[in-house]
Structure 1
Amino acid sequence: MLTRLSLRLRIFLFFCLLAVGGVAVSSVALWVSYRRAADPALFDAFIFAEIVIGFGLLALIAAVWLLFDDNVAKPIERLSAELRARAHAGVSRDLDLQAARYLGDLAPAAAGLANQLSDKTMGVAEAVAAETEHLAVEQQRLRALLTEIPVAILLASPSHRLVLYDGQAAEVLAQISHPRLNAPLFDYFQPDALQKAYAKLAKTGMEASCSLTSIDGAQTYSARMKPLGETSGYMLILDDSAANIAPEAARPLVYDFGLLNTSTDQSFETLPLRELCFVVFDTETTGLLPHKDEIVQIGAVRVVNGRMVEGERLDMLVNPVMPIPAASTKVHKITDRMVEGAPEIAEAGRIFHEFARNAVIVAHNAPFDMAFLRRHADRMKVEWTHPVLDTVLLSAVLFGASDTHTLDALCERLDITIPHELRHTALGDAVATAEALVRMLPMLQARGMNTFGEVIEATRRHGRLLEDLN
């Protein structure tokens, strides 16, 4: 049981036990002395002596605990977090040895080990960079080859989830809903034709043709479903004539082949962290009161299999239907003229809701941003039932509740730079928060928190931080 408590809490309990023991021992000693004196007239004097001794012991132990907490417990907690950040999140900044100056040789020894690890990591990183450059060249060749093929191509897992789509497929999917890795194809196409074609492909191992209808019934696409050889899943090809795609259009590829074997039948609580899809978002608003102010911008990025998906971002201005105060414009640089003609929150909220479908929503101080969205849920005609993760609480879990947990402080600890021109823009802050999340995921796993449920359980111990922030 005690091993599940934080180091600082265990030390606090130790000093509490010391205080209780000291008071108990002094009480017993005075009681025995009083009985041996056998003089009832001394009772009040012994009681007064116990009160003085008790309060004196408590004051002394409290003072020693505060000194120990500030100079030993907190530095150990901070040093552990910094070492874990270097080992698992790629952070390379120097350790704060001044904060751990009372830990003897522990901090310099840890710094030496961390530097040695960094040197070895640098060698590995150079080798990875060389291989990555080679893969980039191969990818460019693949894109050039695809450009000559006048069709839209996507790959799906056996559970009909998107594993890869090219630029032309993205155009087709965007006519129905925002293209998203790991999204079910049933979010875009009616399931009957897809399931029948896949059943035929699985039975014969041969290409199967089908006619796909968009989920809203507005469009129909001629498609061919092809097997992937020994690999599970299938390729879906949408004919150029049906999709109205320009053959000369750019063909960026968005993919994650790890999704071919991702399990989809588990609840969020039992899913491994790296198998979760996260949508990290931020908002800019007319003010700081969710019950009366309005959203003026929403920015969001998707994190799949522990990495940001560059092609899947949302950046929307929102018309608040009210004047934007000059004080707010000074922060986020959004003016009344900029939001003219932008969608109102009912439409913008529905777009974001669709973008975040089947994903965990992540934000820095999530209750603040979610309050704006939930307030207008009826107008949006949606329900915000997504699991929510807060990077403020993740920071508290990893770096200790006593540290500062602003977005700037978290990014500084994790070696993340937010370009000045992007700070206090919804997308800029969302990207910074997503980078922090990506770096914190392996740190959480190193702490033994491998599933979403375990992480949520750990964050609940720090809920008071959000109450104080809001």
Structure 2
Amino acid sequence: MSRLGLRLRIFLFFCLIALGGTGLVLAALYAGHQRALATTATNGFTFAAILASFGLVALSVGIWLLFDENVAKPIERISAQMRARAHAGVATGIDTEAARYLGDLAPAASAVTAALSDSAMSTAERVAAETERLTAEKARLTALLTEIPVAMILANPRDQIVLYDGQAAEVLAGQAVPRLNAPLSDYFDPACLVGARRKLDRTGKEVAFSLRGHDARQSYDARMKPMEGGGYMLVIDAAHADIAPDAARPLVYEFDLFDRDAEAAVEDMPLSRMIYTVFDTETTGLLPHKDEIVQIGAVRVVHGRIVEGEALDMLVDPGRPIPPASTRVHKVSDAMVAGKPDIAEAGRVFHRFSRDSVIVAHNAPFDMAFLHRHKGRIGVDWDNPILDTVLLSAVVFGASETHTLDALCDRLGVTIPERLRHTALGDAQATAEVLVRLLPMLEARGLTTFGAVLSETRRHGRLLEDLN
């Protein structure tokens, strides 16, 4: 059967419908004739019609199941695998065994994607050479900046962080986790910033002022310098700040944040221009209505790339013993969480970290249920837009596929180090890498805005609850 051509195989499906239907009708007529001889003609014809109807329905269902399993599903799988290779840079091959009844389609698709990969590889080699040069220059620049006892932050006209250097990362971390696109008021006294900004706008010249952190215990000498085209540079004297001399943090930036449309509705925002907070939790058990969170891990994805250094990894005191069975899975013990923040404090930290972003998780209803249950204690409303990679997988690969995190990682070429598996940060990192690969695949299907993706995921609502 596997040696038959695709056209002949589809022709045989139609032959099966024709022959099977004819045979069923003839059999039903014969049975009806026999019944008519024993009863009445009307009774016989009625019996024949009922028998033929049920037989044709059963035949149609059987042939559809064959067609779906041997033609429709393999075609859908090949399409998804080709998109993964074309748009997400996945190097896995085409599953020719699953498409063995599709004639030459699978080998042809494999040949096309192999040629595409070869072309992409040669291009990637040229890009890699240039990237290596730029990386070396960036490393030298970062090393140079680290030696200068000032912290530099670049802000856009809306007072949001576009760039921060290694020293600035340490200064920001003294208040909260550093984040691109975060308002400076999340880290420093707004009154100091507003006063300096007004003077900068009025004079157009550099402004020197005293900058205080939110806790009022840290104060810095700072200068605000205007930038051509809008925005400004905030230079902070870090000579007296509590910064380790060997602290080495990367230069973090995303210059596209200068042009970010602050007024666009979230439904109209392009996927590639959005900011995502990808998170995962580890818990005392699998019942959100009574179990508790013991660990929260989160990473940030800005404009389609994972931002190194912008991560959250918190142990949380659940206020109750952790069952040994749960500890065997996530390796978090009672001793590890003793003295750590409770869910109220940890929830507030995560809420600040995810501010003004789309929250992403794998099976988000499970993780969000814990946070919603404690929103009174935390003192916040979880009103962020939410995406679920389970539903995104269903959109891209079809609902009939397996959508576990392990299956997605295998399908998209994402490797989770064993030491990080079943840790909140490790699974959040893996989910973020999955998201980064899924985004171009969604855009290639014409789903370029958040609203379009949300509408498409709702078609798979039977898989998971819609949290939006």
TM band (smaller chain) = 0.7 to 0.9
Alpha-carbon deviation of 1:79? 0.6
Alpha-carbon deviation of 1:193? 4.6
Pairing 1:394-409 to 2, within 5 Å after superposition: 394-409=392-407
Pairing 1:43-442 to 2, within 5 Å after superposition: 43-191=42-190, 193-195=192-194, 197-202=196-201, 204-215=203-214, 219-229=218-228, 231-240=229-238, 243=241, 249-442=247-440
Distance (whole Å) between structure 2 residues aligned to residue 368 and residue 339 of structure 1: 21
Deviation digits for residues 165-222 of structure 1 (CA, Å, limit 9, x no counterpart): 1122122222322210011223223445534544554565432334444456565443
Is the contact made by 1:350 and 1:382 (CA closer than 8 Å) also made in structure 2?
yes
Change (3 A) 1:208 1:177: same
SS across alignment from 1:283: strand
Moved more, 411-420 or 262-271: 262-271
Pairing 1:16-35 to 2, within 5 Å after superposition: none
- Which residue of structure 2 lines up, in the alignment, with residue 456 of structure 1? 454
One-letter amino acid of the structure 1 residue matched with residue 139 of structure 2: Q
One-letter amino acid of the structure 1 residue matched with residue 163 of structure 2: L
Distance (whole Å) between structure 2 residues aligned to residue 197 and residue 317 of structure 1: 38
For structure 1, the residue ranges without an aligned partner over 5 or more in a row are 1-14, 31-39
Is the contact made by 1:319 and 1:340 (CA closer than 8 Å) also made in structure 2?
yes
One-letter amino acid of the structure 2 residue matched with residue 358 of structure 1: D
One-letter amino acid of the structure 2 residue matched with residue 369 of structure 1: D
Distance (whole Å) between structure 2 residues aligned to residue 194 and residue 257 of structure 1: 21
Deviation digits for residues 34-57 of structure 1 (CA, Å, limit 9, x no counterpart): xxxxxx952222221111111111
Alpha-carbon deviation of 1:463? 1.8
Moved more, 378-387 or 207-216: 207-216
For structure 2, the residue ranges without an aligned partner over 5 or more in a row are 1-13, 30-38
Alpha-carbon deviation of 1:234? 1.6
TM-score using structure 2 length: 0.87
One-letter amino acid of the structure 2 residue matched with residue 48 of structure 1: F
Is the contact made by 2:74 and 2:98 (CA closer than 8 Å) also made in structure 1?
yes
SS across alignment from 2:419: helix
Distance (whole Å) between structure 2 residues aligned to residue 332 and residue 244 of structure 1: 34
Q: CA RMSD in A?
A: 2.6
Is the contact made by 2:84 and 2:441 (CA closer than 8 Å) also made in structure 1?
yes
Deviation digits for residues 346-372 of structure 1 (CA, Å, limit 9, x no counterpart): 111111111111111111101111111
- Aligned residue pair count: 437
Moved more, 100-109 or 244-253: 244-253
- Which residue of structure 2 lines up, in the alignment, with residue 6 of structure 1? none
Distance (whole Å) between structure 2 residues aligned to residue 270 and residue 331 of structure 1: 40
SS across alignment from 1:342: coil
Moved more, 78-87 or 208-217: 208-217
Distance (whole Å) between structure 1 residues aligned to residue 246 and residue 99 of structure 2: 60
One-letter amino acid of the structure 1 residue matched with residue 165 of structure 2: D
Change (3 A) 1:129 1:417: same
Alpha-carbon deviation of 1:459? 0.8
One-letter amino acid of the structure 2 residue matched with residue 432 of structure 1: A
SS across alignment from 1:466: coil
SS across alignment from 1:163: strand
- Which residue of structure 2 lines up, in the alignment, with residue 465 of structure 1? 463
Q: Percent identity?
A: 65
Deviation digits for residues 40-99 of structure 1 (CA, Å, limit 9, x no counterpart): 952222221111111111111111111111111111111110000000111011110111
One-letter amino acid of the structure 2 residue matched with residue 453 of structure 1: G
SS across alignment from 1:464: coil
One-letter amino acid of the structure 1 residue matched with residue 161 of structure 2: L
Distance (whole Å) between structure 1 residues aligned to residue 287 and residue 432 of structure 2: 25
SS across alignment from 1:465: coil
Distance (whole Å) between structure 2 residues aligned to residue 389 and residue 197 of structure 1: 38
Distance (whole Å) between structure 2 residues aligned to residue 386 and residue 280 of structure 1: 12
- Which residue of structure 2 lines up, in the alignment, with residue 35 of structure 1? none
Distance (whole Å) between structure 2 residues aligned to residue 236 and residue 413 of structure 1: 44
Distance (whole Å) between structure 2 residues aligned to residue 463 and residue 208 of structure 1: 54
Is the contact made by 2:249 and 2:309 (CA closer than 8 Å) also made in structure 1?
no
Distance (whole Å) between structure 2 residues aligned to residue 98 and residue 127 of structure 1: 35
Alpha-carbon deviation of 1:343? 1.2
Change (3 A) 1:424 1:81: same
SS across alignment from 2:340: coil
Is the contact made by 1:150 and 1:246 (CA closer than 8 Å) also made in structure 2?
no
